[in-house]
Amino acid sequence: MTSKKVGKVLIQHFLLAFKAYNLEVIIMEVAAEEIVDELSGGREESFDVIIIGAGPAGLTSAIYCARYGLSTAFFETVDPASQLSLTPIIENFPGYEGDGFSLLDRMKNQAIKFGAVHKFENVERIRRIEEGFEVISENGKYLAKAIIIATGGKHRELGVPGEKEFVGRGVSYCATCDGHFFKGKKVIVIGGGNTAVTDAIYLKEIGCDVTLVHRRDELRAEKALQEELFKRKIPVIWNSIVLRIEGDEKVERVVLLNRVENREFEVEVDGIFIAVGIKPATEIVDELGVEKDPVGYIKVDKRQQTNIEGVFAAGDCCDNPLKQVVTACGDGAVAANSAFEYIKMMGAK
Ligand SMILES: Cc1cc2nc3c(=O)[nH]c(=O)nc-3n(C[C@H](O)[C@H](O)[C@H](O)COP(=O)(O)OP(=O)(O)OC[C@H]3O[C@@H](n4cnc5c(N)ncnc54)[C@H](O)[C@@H]3O)c2cc1C
């Protein structure tokens, strides 16, 4: 139960007691709402810009907005977490080689240092209001003149029997988070893109007995990553898809189908890491009427402006051609500049 709900329950009990003694309930109810807001942080804090997202796109926006002198808040949540926090090793961000979490931490500290306010709250709704926008999170309501959406993406599911049942009991979507539970054990990684290959390399490095399973006969991952994979002699099961995941208390085996030979076969495993892509986390803009492409990516112009005035978007949630840390940062900087220009223009009106 959130602090707001706890507050409300307590105050309802007080009101019932007052009613029982015929005291002035209306005055008490108004006061009660105020007390709840004060207790819960539910008051409407105002900012020039609210950024939804604390990945590289959102944090770059926050650094730029704060340095433009705009009062700025940035929000993040646990599900989805920033994809950068799940990246075990990053080697293609200019000037940095290391794990994703440390890079993200540096960006976050930099944004806070310049005055941006960090909110660890899931944003549930964004509404257009006369003064600008109202952002409603699990903890409260906030006002902003402009909004930057930088919500990234979340993992896709396979949609096969056993997948949902065994999440946390052998099925994982995050090698960085869960890999260490499988040291010395047999795991498979499903997928053929950068994430799947990165995950397979990472799992091998930490001591898992890892095999990659891919539905085609060649990988989509960058050549450099493929070379790393083959250098480590990580086996690949080609042309195969998962039909179902089986076990008793936890995952014991996967049933695969070789699509070329139309042959079903079983592989005994302790863990299965699913890395078949990311879908955009863009549901929260639906109420605003923000335009998206058929997959759900937010449509933006060169200035990261959406079809809704005052709403900008940056990073992996947009319909940009390359989804990487460096491009997310670039988008974030442009979105911040556009938000700054927009607020200046509004002020001049
Ligand atoms: C395993 C893996 C390896 C990768 N390797 C590389 C690599 O080597 N090089 C590279 O350049 N890129 C790599 N990437 C891609 C890179 O991580 C992404 O392109 C980048 O993180 C996108 O940044 P973003 O800010 O757009 O979104 P994200 O980093 O996904 O951040 C999204 C943010 O939005 C927040 N959010 C979402 N919804 C809400 C909500 N409703 N309320 C509040 N907050 C919300 C999340 O909490 C998060 O903070 C990798 C990705 C993965 C998964």
CA–CA separation, 264 and 251 (whole Å): 18
Q: Write down the pLDDT at residue 91.
A: 86
Pocket test for ligand 1, best of 74, 87, 136 (most atoms within 8 A of CB): 87
- CATH match of 43-155+278-348 with 3.50.50.60: yes
CA–CA separation, 334 and 6 (whole Å): 41
Distance of alpha carbon 300 from the chain centroid: 19
Pocket test for ligand 1, best of 151, 273, 300, 323 (most atoms within 8 A of CB): 151
Q: Whole-model pTM?
A: 0.79
Hey, is 252 helix, strand or coil?
Answer: strand
323 CA distance to ligand 1 centroid (A)? Answer: 9
Q: What positions carry a catalytic annotation?
A: 174, 177-178
Domain boundaries, the chain: 43-155+278-348, 171-274
Per residue in 40-62, pLDDT (tens digit) is 444 589 999 999 999 999 999 99
* Domains 43-155+278-348 and 171-274 fall in the same CATH topology: yes
Closest ligand 1 atom number to CA of residue 153: 30
Would the pLDDT of 220 be above 70? yes
Residue 229's pLDDT band (boundaries 50, 70, 90)?
very high
Closest ligand 1 atom number to CA of residue 331: 26
Question: What is the distance between the terminal CA atoms of the chain, rounded to a whole angstrom?
Answer: 44
Q: Is 13 exposed, middle or buried (0-12, 13-18, 19+ CB in 10 A)?
A: exposed
Judge if the beta carbon of residue 126 lies within 6 A of ligand 1.
no
| Residue, of 7 and 209, whose pLDDT is higher | 209
Q: Write down the pLDDT at residue 30.
A: 39
DSSP letter for 82, please. Answer: P
Please name the residue whose Cα sits nearest to atom 49 of ligand 1: 54
Q: Which two tokens stand for residue 128?
A: 């257009």
CATH, domain range 171-274: 3.50.50.60
Residue 348's pLDDT band (boundaries 50, 70, 90)?
low
- The whole-chain average pLDDT of the chain stands at 89
Q: Write down the pLDDT at residue 343.
A: 97
Judge if the beta carbon of residue 58 lies within 6 A of ligand 1.
yes
Would the pLDDT of 144 be above 90? yes
Q: Write down the pLDDT at residue 22.
A: 38
- Site of tokens 């927009």: 342
CB-CB contact of 160 with 188 (8 Å): no
